[in-house]
Amino acid sequence: MSQIYWSMRLSKVLLLIVALAGAAASAAHAGSGPDVAHFTLSNGLEVVVVPDHRAPVVTHMVWYKVGAADETPGKSGLAHFLEHLMFKGTEKNPGQTFSRQVAEGGGQENAFTASDYTGFFQRVPREHLKEVMAFEADRMTGLVLTDEVVRPELNVVLEEQNMRIANNPGARLGEQMDAALYLNHPYGRPVIGWRHEIEKLDRDDALAFYRRFYTPNNAIVVVTGDITADEVKADAEATYGKVAERAPSNPRQRPTEPVQQAPRTVTLADARVEEPSISRDYLVPSETTAKSGESEALDVLAHVLGSGEDCRLYRILVVDKGIALSAGAYYTGTALDYAKFGVYGAPKPGTTLRQVEAGIDAIIDDVVAHGITADELDRAKNRLIADAVYAEDNQATLARWYGAALATGQTVDMVRTWPDRIRAVTADAVQQAARTWLDRRKSVTGYLVKSLQPEESHS
């Protein structure tokens, strides 16, 4: 229940979502899964519907194509702060009317903010869908904010920053690594914001950001569950359809990275670190920016290198050589601009971070030089494609995939064809991806240690 484990669990969940994102739709493509409907209202609002009639429940989400990477420099944390303030009521539904109605209907609600998007969702018994759509359409433009509600909420967000980051050395290292990885792109800023900038955010900042980005032509509604596309279409037109565009849908042009030329290292020392660890992030293309086949090859590469106990990193470093207690790799491909390919490990007592890092490097060098085996390729593909079926079991997961994909510039079709594209990955493509992208000059390596004294083997 500690914050550290919480954030580790969170990142695992995210990885799963990323890994399964395309997979779920694959079944749809193959004709064995749900039918996905996709349409756009006249005010520019996109709608995606994925039916699942097993339980009388729907998941309803609205995704705004705005996130922390769209903030004005100096206002970091604003996207997330506004997300919190969206629960403060509108002219038509003041105070906590919306939340109260959701709860009275037996529903759950929450919201989330990431670098590229901000989302709000309700999970409700199916008969309440239209009602929550009406509420959500209302707060798309009707938000009312007073200092009386804004000020306590700023304190809530500062406590959230304490909980997630300040109290957690690993999360603090993660912030420093992102800042070092991105030389020019705003992905280098924490989604929650830098604390000294969060402290200065106010009502006017939030309202300006809201008016600029919260408009139907910058939003995607995703509904999954016990509902048909026709029903959703009628309800969407009666609710969201009445909301007028109030701002242009801005082209999302962010500063881009220069050619990265030097490996970076970041060391965070904290007396509370009882177990040192090393992690490295490489700057790689996202599913949206990658050349054809490239992000799929990175999916397979991450799986072969670092997923589960049957991957190269765990097998060699933890089991065979016995120098690490944990090791793995991941690729978080769902992003508008850039993605990260990460590797990590924690030394066993008696070994050093350097030994684990050398072990990781040797494994990467081997893949770059010799590629992966046909058996590794098959196993990884089978597993990634099988995950599609597991994904179909959870309507909330399905909603998240489609929302995240569309909010980061992908299409419904890209999601649907993901398993076919995984099927088409060759061992050569995986080796080529490793050779091209696992380049130290485009990476940051982070060390989490107890003190900055020269490291000896930890015991």
Q: Indicate which residues carry an active-site annotation.
A: 83
Question: Does 269 interact with other proteins (rule: CB under 8 A)?
Answer: no
Q: Which of 92, 238, 390, 457 binds other proteins (CB under 8 A)?
A: 390
Q: Toward other proteins, which CB reaches closer, 9 or 242?
A: 9
Q: Toward other proteins, which CB reaches closer, 253 or 375?
A: 375
Residues 355-384 that bind other proteins (CB under 8 A): 379, 382-383
Phi, psi of 453 (to 5 degrees): -60, 150
Question: Does 115 interact with other proteins (rule: CB under 8 A)?
Answer: yes
Residues 42-81 that bind other proteins (CB under 8 A): 52-57, 80
Shortest Å distance, C-beta 446 to other proteins: 15
Residues 209-248 that bind other proteins (CB under 8 A): 225
Contacts of 448 (CB under 8 A, 6+ apart): 169, 170, 173, 268, 270, 273, 276, 277, 278, 279
Q: Toward other proteins, which CB reaches closer, 41 or 114?
A: 114
Q: Which of 229, 318, 425, 430 binds other proteins (CB under 8 A)?
A: 318
Matching residue, tokens 């130290």: 440
Q: Toward other proteins, which CB reaches closer, 334 or 355?
A: 334
Shortest Å distance, C-beta 241 to other proteins: 26
Which structure tokens are listed for 66?
Answer: 């705005």
Phi, psi of 47 (to 5 degrees): -130, 135
Q: How far are the Cα atoms of 58, 174, 347, 356, 365 from residue 314, in angstroms, in the given order?
A: 39, 22, 12, 11, 16
Q: CB under 8 A: which stretch of 184-192, 208-216, 242-250, 294-302 binds other proteins? A: 184-192
Q: How far are the Cα atoms of 306, 338, 339, 432 from residue 371, in angstroms, in the given order?
A: 15, 24, 22, 8
- The Cα 64–Cα 347 span in angstroms is 41
Side chain identity, residue 330: Y
Question: Does 284 interact with other proteins (rule: CB under 8 A)?
Answer: no
Q: CB under 8 A: which stretch of 249-257, 303-311, 357-365, 421-429 binds other proteins? A: 303-311
Shortest Å distance, C-beta 285 to other proteins: 14
- The Cα 235–Cα 413 span in angstroms is 24
Phi, psi of 130 (to 5 degrees): -65, -35
Residues 10-29 that bind other proteins (CB under 8 A): 10, 14
Q: Which of 392, 409, 418, 433 binds other proteins (CB under 8 A)?
A: 392
Secondary structure class of 58 (helix, strand, coil): strand
Secondary structure class of 15 (helix, strand, coil): helix
Q: Which of 36, 129, 273, 316 binds other proteins (CB under 8 A)?
A: 273
Q: How far are the Cα atoms of 22, 31, 220, 237, 437 from residue 404, in angstroms, in the given order?
A: 11, 23, 10, 23, 24
Shortest Å distance, C-beta 263 to other proteins: 22
CA dihedral 67, 72, 77, 83 (to 10 degrees): -50
Residues 141-160 that bind other proteins (CB under 8 A): 151-160
Shortest Å distance, C-beta 293 to other proteins: 22
# chain residues binding other proteins, by CB under 8 A: 92
Q: Which of 147, 262, 272, 453 binds other proteins (CB under 8 A)?
A: 272
Q: Toward other proteins, which CB reaches closer, 158 or 424?
A: 158
Max Cα separation, the chain?
Answer: 66
Residue 184 DSSP symbol: S
Shortest Å distance, C-beta 138 to other proteins: 18
Q: Which of 110, 184, 250, 457 binds other proteins (CB under 8 A)?
A: 110
Residue 11: CB atoms within 10 Å:
14
Nearest to 398 by CA among 6, 30, 7, 34: 34
Q: Toward other proteins, which CB reaches closer, 40 or 256?
A: 256
Shortest Å distance, C-beta 392 to other proteins: 5
Q: Toward other proteins, which CB reaches closer, 153 or 257?
A: 153
- The Cα 44–Cα 346 span in angstroms is 48
Q: Toward other proteins, which CB reaches closer, 323 or 343?
A: 323
Question: Does 335 interact with other proteins (rule: CB under 8 A)?
Answer: yes
Q: How far are the Cα atoms of 310, 329, 367, 376, 385 from residue 373, in angstroms, in the given order?
A: 14, 18, 10, 5, 18
Q: How far are the Cα atoms of 175, 275, 408, 445, 450 from residue 272, in angstroms, in the given order?
A: 17, 9, 37, 20, 7
9, burial (CB in 10 Å: exposed 0-12, middle 13-18, buried 19+): exposed
Q: CB under 8 A: which stretch of 40-48, 232-240, 269-277, 363-371 binds other proteins? A: 269-277
Shortest Å distance, C-beta 65 to other proteins: 14
Question: Does 325 interact with other proteins (rule: CB under 8 A)?
Answer: yes
Residues 399-458 that bind other proteins (CB under 8 A): none
Q: Toward other proteins, which CB reaches closer, 87 or 240?
A: 87
